[in-house]
Homo-oligomer: A and B are copies of this chain.
């Protein structure tokens, strides 16, 4: 997440896989809105293959799975974020809000004291 010039990225690993991160959280939200993996991918400017791989990686990391895919209908068949998916998404967003508190703390203010608005150029 971007808080002005402060960028925070939270990822949760599961063995060699990435269980949750900013792209996967956005994808869960898009599946809720769009009702399918292909629609969610389109909404995020992502290929169907990429969206499907992200869902597959998430689902392999959680029990029960975060996204239930409905049988039949080809690429446009529906997908639904499970109750676990909703709980994990909510927990992830709460972690982001908690981490965002550092933007209000003295350490960041100290760092900003010395930073330029724009980098100087070398020429």
A contact residues vs B (CB 8 Å cutoff): 5-17, 19-20, 56-57, 60-64, 84, 87-88, 91-92, 94-95, 98-99, 101-102, 105, 107-108, 110-111, 114-122
Given A10-B8, A102-B98, do A120 and B60 touch, yes or no (CB 8 Å)? yes
Is B119 a contact of A17 with CB atoms below 8 Å?
A: yes
Looking at A6, A7, A111, the one whose CB has the most chain B CB atoms below 10 A away is: A111
Contact partner of A8 (CB less than 8 A), chosen from B9, B19, B116, is B9
Residue of B nearest to A4 (CB): B13
Residues of B within 8 A of A111 (CB): 12, 20, 88, 91-92, 95
Residues of B within 8 A of A7 (CB): 9-13
Is A98 a contact of B91 with CB atoms below 8 Å?
A: no
Residues of B within 8 A of A11 (CB): 6-7, 9
Give A9 to B8 CA distance when docked, in angstroms. 6
Given A11-B7, A12-B5, A12-B7, do A107 and B91 touch, yes or no (CB 8 Å)? yes
Residues of B within 8 A of A19 (CB): 5, 115, 119
Q: With contacts A5-B14, A61-B119 known, what are 8 further pairs, Cβ within 8 A?
A: A5-B19, A6-B11, A8-B10, A8-B99, A9-B9, A14-B116, A16-B119, A95-B111
